C-alpha cells in the first residue's frame, strides 16, 4: 500500500510543480488501445512493449480537461481507500457522483488508465470489479475473510470471488478445467452432472466476454494445479475472440498480461470442422453477418494466429462457409449429445487444438 500511496503522491507532485512554474499540468498515459504498442510473446500472450507511444491528458485543452479533472478525482478516492484500508467497486465509484462521471464506462476507462499509468494492478488500488462469472466442480478454497467455499458438493453454481488474489488453501482433484463461453451451456452441463460423471473437473464461465475476476481465477487455478485447460465456445468469430482473450489477453489490458493470460489453453470445441464431421443439419447453422465477416478478418490478421496453424485452418473453414453455429446446435443430434457423446469423445481421443 505504501507503494501505491507513493506512486499517487509522485503524480500529484508533478502537477503541483507545473502549477508552481505557471505551466499547465499534464498526465502522460500509455496508448493502451494501439496495436503498435503491443507485442506478442508465446509464453505471455499480448503484452505492452516497454517504450510505447504515449498520449497526454492536458489540463489546458478543452477536450481533455474534463478527463484530467476526473482522473485527479479518482486518484484522490483511491488514495483515501488505500490509507483507510477500505475497498470499493467500480460501480460504487460511479454512484458516488453520477452527475460528475456521466457514465459507468467513463469510470471503468479511467480506472484502467490509472492502473496502467501507475503500473499497479487494479486490485492493489483497492478497486474491486463486480463479478459476473460462475465456477463449479471439484474445487474448494478459503476466502480472504476466512469463509470456506466448497464448489464440489454445491448443486448451485458459485459466483467467482471478487477478490481472487485473496483466496488461499485451494484444493482440487480435478483432471482438467473447462471454460464455457455461455451461461446456458454451463447450466446444461451442470444439470447433466458433467463435473463428476466423466472425471472430476472444474467448470468456469465468464458468461460471454470474461470480466477481470474470471480471468484472474482461471490463471490462479492454472498456476495452482497445472492441469489442462480447455475451452468450449460457439463456432463463430465472437466465440473465437472470447477464447483468445482467455488465452492471449486483450489489447486494452495488455499491461497486466502476466496475471491474466493462460497461453496453455486448448480449443476443444465447437470447431468449425466439427460441423461437417458430425453432419450437423444446415437448418441449425446461422449465416454470417457483415459484422461477423469483419470480426473474423481482424482475428485472422492477429499475430498469435500465425503461430497456431490448426486454428488458422479452422478459421479458414469458417470464412469459406460463411456460416456459424452455437453449441446448442448439437442438440439437433440429441438433447444430451454434448455431455454424453461430444465432450467425452473429444477428451478421450484428444480432439482439441
Q: Are 308 and 353 in contact (CB under 8 A)?
A: yes
What CATH number is associated with residue 36?
Answer: 1.10.10.10
How many distinct structural domains can be found in the chain? 2
| 73 and 216 co-located in one domain | no
Indicate the pLDDT class of residue 155, thresholds 50, 70 and 90: low
Q: How much is the average pLDDT of 282-292?
A: 89
| CA–CA gap between residue 102 and residue 94 (Å, rounded) | 8
| 196 and 49 co-located in one domain | no
| 321 and 213 co-located in one domain | yes
Identify the domain boundary among 99, 128, 157: 128
| CA–CA gap between residue 111 and residue 264 (Å, rounded) | 29
- H-type helices in the chain, by residue range? 2-20, 65-84, 90-96, 98-101, 104-118, 183-191, 194-197, 212-225, 237-248, 257-260, 272-277, 290-300, 303-306, 309-321, 337, 343-349
DSSP state of 124: G
Q: Which residues contact 100 (CB under 8 A, 6 or more apart)?
A: 70, 73
pLDDT exceeding 70 applies to what percent of the chain?
Answer: 97
pLDDT at 241: 92
Q: How much is the average pLDDT of 153-163?
A: 76
| 190 and 321 co-located in one domain | yes
Please give the radius of gyration of the chain, using alpha carbons only, rounded to the nearest integer.
22
Q: Is 95 a catalytic residue?
A: yes
Which comes out higher in pLDDT, residue 204 or 305? 204
**Structural domain span for residue 328:** 134-349
| 229 and 276 co-located in one domain | yes
| 167 and 65 co-located in one domain | no
Identify the domain boundary among 128, 148, 178: 128
Quote the cell numbers at residue 57: 491528458
| 330 and 234 co-located in one domain | yes
Does residue 154 surpass a pLDDT of 70?
no
Long-range contacts of 93-98 (CB under 8 A, 24+ apart): 93/127
Whose cell is 444430451? That residue is 336
Identify the domain boundary among 107, 128, 149: 128
The active-site residue, picked from 79, 94, 95, 141, is: 95
Q: How much is the average pLDDT of 146-170?
A: 82
Predicted confidence (pLDDT) per residue in 48-83, tens digit: 777 777 888 888 888 888 999 999 999 999 999 999
Long-range contacts of 197-200 (CB under 8 A, 24+ apart): 197/339, 198/343, 198/344, 198/347, 199/175, 200/137, 200/138, 200/172, 200/173, 200/174, 200/175
Coil, helix or strand at residue 104 = helix
- Ramachandran quadrant class, 45 (left: phi over 0; alpha: psi -120 to 50; beta: rest): left
pLDDT at 236: 92
| 50 and 68 co-located in one domain | yes
| Termini Cα distance of the chain | 42
Predicted confidence (pLDDT) per residue in 224-267, tens digit: 999 999 999 999 999 999 999 999 887 767 666 677 888 899 99
Q: Are 204 and 178 in contact (CB under 8 A)?
A: yes
pLDDT at 196: 81
What CATH number is associated with residue 278?
Answer: 3.40.1360.10
Quote the cell numbers at residue 78: 483511491
| 278 and 144 co-located in one domain | yes
Q: Are 129 and 15 in contact (CB under 8 A)?
A: no
**Torsion angle of C-alpha atoms 184, 314, 260, 69, degrees rounded to 10:** -90
| 77 and 140 co-located in one domain | no
| 231 and 343 co-located in one domain | yes
Q: How many CB atoms neighbour CB 239 within 10 A?
A: 23
Whose cell is 499517487? That residue is 8
| 114 and 16 co-located in one domain | yes
**Torsion angle of C-alpha atoms 266, 272, 278, 279, degrees rounded to 10:** 180
| CA–CA gap between residue 214 and residue 181 (Å, rounded) | 12
- Output the DSSP codes for 203-242: EEE-SSS--HHHHHHHHHHHHHH---EEEE--BSHHHHHH
Whether a cis peptide bond, with omega within 30° of 0, leads into 270 is yes
Coil, helix or strand at residue 105 = helix
Amino acid at each position: 500500500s505504501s507503494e501505491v500511496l507513493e506512486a499517487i503522491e509522485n503524480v500529484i507532485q508533478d502537477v503541483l510543480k507545473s502549477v508552481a512554474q505557471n505551466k499547465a499540468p499534464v498526465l502522460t498515459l500509455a496508448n493502451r488501445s494501439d496495436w503498435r504498442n503491443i507485442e506478442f510473446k508465446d509464453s505471455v500472450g499480448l503484452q505492452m512493449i516497454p517504450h510505447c507511444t504515449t498520449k497526454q491528458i492536458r489540463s489546458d485543452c478543452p477536450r481533455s480537461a474534463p478527463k484530467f479533472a476526473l482522473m485527479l478525482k479518482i486518484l484522490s478516492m483511491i488514495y483515501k481507500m488505500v490509507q483507510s484500508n477500505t475497498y470499493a467497486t467500480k460501480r460504487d465509484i460511479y454512484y458516488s457522483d453520477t452527475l460528475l462521471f456521466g457514465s459507468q464506462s467513463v469510470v471503468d476507462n479511467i480506472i484502467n488508465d490509472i492502473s496502467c499509468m501507475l503500473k499497479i494492478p487494479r486490485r492493489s488500488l483497492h478497486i474491486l470489479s463486480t463479478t459476473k462469472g460462475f465456477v463449479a466442480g471439484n474445487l474448494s478454497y478459503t476466502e480472504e475473510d476466512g469463509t470456506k467455499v466448497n464448489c464440489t458438493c454445491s448443486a448451485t453454481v458459485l459466483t467467482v470471488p471478487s477478490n481472487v488474489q485473496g483466496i488461499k488453501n485451494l484444493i482440487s482433484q480435478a483432471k482438467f478445467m473447462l471454460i464455457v463461453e455461455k451461461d446456458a451451456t454451463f447450466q446444461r452441463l451442470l444439470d447433466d452432472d458433467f463435473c463428476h460423471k466423466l472425471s472430476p473437473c472444474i467448470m468456469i464461465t465468464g458468461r460471454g466476454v470474461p470480466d477481470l475476476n474470471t480471468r484472474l481465477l482461471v490463471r490462479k487455478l492454472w498456476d495452482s494445479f497445472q492441469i489442462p485447460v480447455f475451452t468450449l465456445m460457439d463456432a463463430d468469430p465472437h466465440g473465437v475472440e472470447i477464447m483468445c482473450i482467455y488465452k492471449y489477453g486483450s489489447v486494452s489490458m495488455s499491461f497486466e498480461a502476466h496475471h491474466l493470460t493462460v497461453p496453455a489453453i486448448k480449443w476443444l470445441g465447437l470447431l468449425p470442422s466439427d460441423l461437417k464431421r458430425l453432419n450437423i443439419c444446415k437448418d441449425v447453422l446461422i449465416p454470417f453477418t457483415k459484422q461477423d465477416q469483419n470480426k473474423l478478418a481482424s482475428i485472422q490478421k492477429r499475430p498469435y494466429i500465425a503461430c497456431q496453424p490448426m486454428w488458422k485452418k479452422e478459421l479458414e473453414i469458417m470464412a469459406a462457409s460463411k456460416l456459424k453455429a452455437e453449441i446448442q446446435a448439437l442438440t439437433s443430434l440429441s438433447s444430451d449429445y454434448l455431455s454424453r457423446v461430444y465432450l467425452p469423445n473429444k477428451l478421450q481421443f484428444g480432439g482439441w487444438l
